[in-house]
Structure 1
């Protein structure tokens, strides 16, 4: 079957099932199977797939029709222009998290020209920590997670993207278990209230790691924990930056104020939602 025809059929099936980007999904999956760019698909519509290529494509398409995210199907997701390996051990990086990285890079400039020591809590794929290590000169990043599988993915991404020498990795549940002091502590913690987990899209709740999504009764269990534990790991004037779920910012700010933090600020994302909260050790 010709490339143009198989793409047409695949996109039609995805559209009928209500997927929001049927043509893009169909193209990305076919590009992956053929090992070519999407530009190739546009310039070679007459290309005839081999029987094996068509079989592999139909298998991936069926998995997509069952709701599996494209990033897991192709094993990769772009974050700030870099390709990150992903699998079901890790949360798929979201564009909104780039805002946290932007703020961290800005705040890092407030410190002296020496090495910046940074913790990435709940690193997952390593999207935050690896990006910081790549973009911040003289950074040293400690990436932690409670999942051995996630840390393996993060280490592979650090190696692939050339920053393994600027990072260490640690299975860790408590910041209090970490020795030394750091300039920045960053995290995209779970922030979905437990009672709202069932409302998540099927592609999220059925495939992504629930431990990286469920934030407890009010969605702030991990935020509260990090706010309480971080001061022991921060240098004087060090910063804690947390991603939030578009709501709950005022509650997080109140917790931070009670814990003695200063210069608390809330940053909105491109949709106008409260997405990142930054607080300075008092």
Structure 2
């Protein structure tokens, strides 16, 4: 009896997600089928009649049920690509998104200049999660070393494992800390994608975000600005002369976050938008040690 082919499986998966009203159904179906069958886009074209074994069919079925229930495709896969790096995910890590690559691209040239001039540079990544920002910068700047801070042991274990898998573990260390509480020393760059959603808005987020991203990586307090106040208040004593602080922001928070840092004695160096044209990254100078 003829089994299910790769082409048939791909078509069926796409139809199930489409019929369930899943946004991006075609892409999600392709990602799940490729990952669970161990095939590529090229093989889908060159070997569409490949027979898929029953265990794999069951695994794809289970994954589709999870996606239809609202679980994001990358949570099901257990990893996500970020700035060309494959990063493992866990329950207490925010799923890294392309918008955050804007921060990496903004600060990497500055760190490269420091690394070339000084022979080394130090990065502090606050709320490191998967390690996305820190590890992307380490991959781009060979002279860089990074400390990834998180209050979650699960997140730190995930970031440390990602660093090891990417061959960056010798230049990355994870530290459990509530923001700066366990941090000492100075850094050339302090970076963060902090929680910036207003508490009252959490329930309005897409269910893929609301139900699966960790709440403390999303909830920025009543006005969404709690983390920025902490970073602005504490960064100066941990910043080298000439160092920078770069933060991701919500698309409507540019003025408020800028004011918080200006009031703390910083100067706005750069404001950048993401690929969708939304305000996304602010970079500040000032403060550093004497």
Q: Give the TM-score, by structure 2 length.
A: 0.94
Give, in whole Å, the separation in 1 of the partners of 2:62 and 2:159: 28
After the TM superposition, which segments of 4 or more aligned residues of structure 1 sit over 6 Å from their partners?
none
Give, in whole Å, the separation in 2 of the partners of 1:41 and 1:263: 49
Give, in whole Å, the separation in 1 of the partners of 2:91 and 2:49: 35
Does residue 1:146 correspond to 2:136, yes or no?
Answer: no
What's the offset of the Cα at 1:26?
1.1
What's the offset of the Cα at 1:189?
0.3
Does the 8 Å CA contact 2:228/2:260 hold for their aligned counterparts? no
Aligned positions of 1:40-119 closer than 5 A: 40-111=43-114, 112-119=117-124
What's the offset of the Cα at 1:176?
4.5
Does the 8 Å CA contact 2:151/2:179 hold for their aligned counterparts? no
Does the 8 Å CA contact 1:176/1:232 hold for their aligned counterparts? no
Aligned positions of 1:210-249 closer than 5 A: 210-249=215-254
What's the offset of the Cα at 1:38?
2.5
Give the gaps of 5 or more residues in structure 2.
none
Give, in whole Å, the separation in 1 of the partners of 2:254 and 2:21: 33
Aligned residue in 1 for 2:10 = 7
**Which of 256, 278, 282 does residue 277 from structure 1 map onto?**
282
Does the 8 Å CA contact 1:27/1:41 hold for their aligned counterparts? no
Give, in whole Å, the separation in 1 of the partners of 2:227 and 2:242: 22
What's the offset of the Cα at 1:174?
3.2
- 2:91 is paired with a residue whose SS is coil
Give, in whole Å, the separation in 1 of the partners of 2:182 and 2:59: 46
C-alpha offsets along residues 232-277 of structure 1, whole Å, 9 cap, x if unaligned? 1001221110000111110111111111102443111111111001
Does residue 1:24 correspond to 2:27, yes or no?
Answer: yes
- 1:246 is paired with a residue whose SS is coil
**Which of 31, 36, 59 does residue 33 from structure 1 map onto?**
36
**Which of 193, 205, 212 does residue 198 from structure 2 map onto?**
193
- Cα RMSD between the aligned structures? 1.3
Give, in whole Å, the separation in 2 of the partners of 1:169 and 1:133: 14
Does the 8 Å CA contact 1:28/1:38 hold for their aligned counterparts? no
Q: Give the TM-score, by structure 1 length.
A: 0.96
Does the 8 Å CA contact 2:71/2:208 hold for their aligned counterparts? yes
- 1:235 is paired with a residue whose SS is strand
Give, in whole Å, the separation in 2 of the partners of 1:42 and 1:219: 47
- 1:175 is paired with a residue whose SS is coil
Give, in whole Å, the separation in 1 of the partners of 2:128 and 2:175: 10
Tell me whether 109-118 or 74-83 shows the greater mean CA deviation.
Answer: 109-118
Aligned positions of 1:119-134 closer than 5 A: 119-134=124-139
